Structure 1
Amino acid sequence: MPLDMWWFIGAAAVCLAVAAAVLRPGTPTPCAAPGAQSVALLRGGRRAAVVVALVALQQRGVVTTGRHGTLRTDGWAPVAVRDRLQLAVHTSLRRPLGVRMLVSTARVQKALNSLRDECAAAGLLRTNARWRMSRILLCAVPVTITAGLLLTPATATDPPLKLGISAVPVVVAAALWAVPRQTRAARRLLVALREGHPVEERPLRGRPGEQRVLMSVALYGDRALTLHVPHFARDGGLLGGGSRNTGFAVFNSASGSGSTGTDIHGCGGGSGS
């Protein structure tokens, strides 16, 4: 192999090393237990968090369904909305919107960014800056290797050796790309919450059950929506949508290690109270 090719492989290895370091979660800051919206964000991303906020508002009579799968505010509801995400959702629904458009509004995006940052500070998500940097570095690996293969001279016996050694950084980059945005602490937290909040078998009614409804929707998504708020979920277009955010893998496993005890740190985000 020509010596020049080693420079490209070395550059790719440096990118991999920095990306691996960047993907390591920072030191968590202990804070209050996570609310249902934070749990939904960890499980299914931004859309899931907005759905929980919508259910919280609907349970309090602030939001109802509109025409053609849209949602709108209920003008007769006097309830004050204090939670940041719920307030952003409520103010964005001054005109009827579908869930996809609602998630993309500037107010809701800003509130979701704040919720994400709180979870990142708690060690449950990788920060936005680190996540983007890791993506850039991992994308640079195949580009660097391809440039090396194209720019370095080759002999008749070189190509197989080149391709064999050059494929290693690309394979490692693909493996690091598959690392989810949630940290290991977040995955343990979701498992523990599922064990503590098994899926309900019957709808919950009344104010005392509101928090359980929200946590159930946060943890189980469509399954909980069709159980607790079937008409609102169907008419409002809440069903059938997963997260579109890169890095937020929808968490469906109900099994896993047991107690997560002392090493789980919560994050903010109202649960509808």
Structure 2
Amino acid sequence: MPLDMWWFIGAAGACLAAAAALLLLPGAPAVVGTPGPQSVALLRGGRRAAVVVALVALHQRGVVTTGRHGTVRTDGWTQAAVRDRLQLAVHTSLRRPVGVRVVVTVPRVQKALDALRDECAAAGLLRANARWRAARALLCAVPLTIVTGLLVTPMTASNTPLQSAISTVPLAVAAALWAIPRRTRAARRLLESLRERHPLEQRPPRGGPAGSRVLTSVALYGDSALTLYVPHFAREGGLLGHGSRDTGFAVFNTAPGSGSTGTDHPGCGTSSA
């Protein structure tokens, strides 16, 4: 029996059905309770955002400070005071001044971030890693299946226009499913609730805010909270998105009269962790 394009369209449809089931069917029920600031940052802005919160926490303890050219470095080696897994991994990775983007790529930091991601998945705030990867693999198989079918099936004047038109449907559905974020509805509701309970202040309170309040604000609002509560550390340490995505070091604008210390680069959004 000769190959027909309908076989490939059907195979693409089966991949889509399996991917949709993995992405849309309920996973682990959401656990009641508020996760820590680093988990909240991971849900809002991905892995880099979680590392930034860890750095701010270490800075508040006095064990991390700014380096040269938009980097961060250790300010002493008081590891005994660092108990959090991610913070300890970040702290022990700063053997030399490096940018935030470099810190995120360190293997021990990656493992700590993976553990944080798994905790969020177990709490029903992120789609489980195995289901997420399997769904992504199935979605990648859809265009490969359609293209293969177009290449190997015979072209006839009677069926080519119809089959070609219908073959675009699986591609459109795959693109729609690909756009589904990894964080769940429970995570989105949690972030909305936390923003209502912890609005961003217009100016820091007298005497300085409590450490937990700073971490929560940075986790929820990112750069806006950084410039409000720890402006010097954020600017000089390259935490504000000024870091080069290639090297992790800040890119400074030295043009006369520019009035700027850096050039913004796009940051990372929800994790398609």
Q: Which residue of 1 aligns with 2:268?
A: 243
Please tell me whether residue 33 in structure 1 is matched to residue 34 in structure 2. yes
Please tell me whether residue 19 in structure 1 is matched to residue 44 in structure 2. no
Distance 1:58 1:49, change over 3 A: same
Distance 1:15 1:164, change over 3 A: same
Residues 43 and 271 in structure 2, CA contact (< 8 A), matched pair in contact too: no
Residues 142 and 174 in structure 2, CA contact (< 8 A), matched pair in contact too: yes
Q: Which residue of 2 aligns with 1:154?
A: 155
- Helix, strand or coil: the match of 1:64? strand
What CA distance in whole angstroms lies between the structure 2 residues aligned with 1:138 and 1:162? 20
Q: How many residues align?
A: 247
* 2:148 alignment partner AA: A
What CA distance in whole angstroms lies between the structure 2 residues aligned with 1:125 and 1:207? 34
* 1:70 alignment partner AA: T
Distance 1:83 1:4, change over 3 A: same
1:75-224 superposed matches below 5 A: 75=76, 80-204=81-205, 209-224=210-225
* 2:112 alignment partner AA: A
TM-score (norm. length: structure 2): 0.85
Offset at 1:76? 7.3
Residues 46 and 268 in structure 2, CA contact (< 8 A), matched pair in contact too: yes
Offset at 1:104? 0.5
What CA distance in whole angstroms lies between the structure 1 residues aligned with 2:172 and 2:102? 37
CA RMSD of aligned residues (A): 2.1
What CA distance in whole angstroms lies between the structure 2 residues aligned with 1:178 and 1:232? 35
Q: Which residue of 2 aligns with 1:267?
A: none
Deviations 1:139-171 (A, max 9, x none): 111111111122222222322211111111111
Residues 182 and 270 in structure 2, CA contact (< 8 A), matched pair in contact too: no
Q: Which residue of 2 aligns with 1:264?
A: none
Range with bigger deviation, 164-173 or 199-208: 199-208
* 1:12 alignment partner AA: A
Runs of 5+ unmatched residues, structure 1: 249-273
Range with bigger deviation, 153-162 or 236-245: 236-245
Q: Which residue of 2 aligns with 1:256?
A: none
What CA distance in whole angstroms lies between the structure 2 residues aligned with 1:187 and 1:151? 44
Residues 61 and 77 in structure 1, CA contact (< 8 A), matched pair in contact too: no
What CA distance in whole angstroms lies between the structure 1 residues aligned with 2:5 and 2:53? 52
Offset at 1:27? 1.9
Residues 48 and 242 in structure 1, CA contact (< 8 A), matched pair in contact too: no
Q: Which residue of 2 aligns with 1:43?
A: 44
* 1:130 alignment partner AA: R
What CA distance in whole angstroms lies between the structure 2 residues aligned with 1:95 and 1:206? 33
1:33-72 superposed matches below 5 A: 33-72=34-73
Divergent runs of 4+, >3 A = 76-79, 204-208
Higher relative contact order (CA 8 A, sep 6+): 1
What CA distance in whole angstroms lies between the structure 1 residues aligned with 2:85 and 2:152? 53
Residues 204 and 213 in structure 1, CA contact (< 8 A), matched pair in contact too: no
What CA distance in whole angstroms lies between the structure 2 residues aligned with 1:179 and 1:78? 40
What CA distance in whole angstroms lies between the structure 2 residues aligned with 1:118 and 1:172? 30
Offset at 1:126? 1.1
Runs of 5+ unmatched residues, structure 2: 242-265
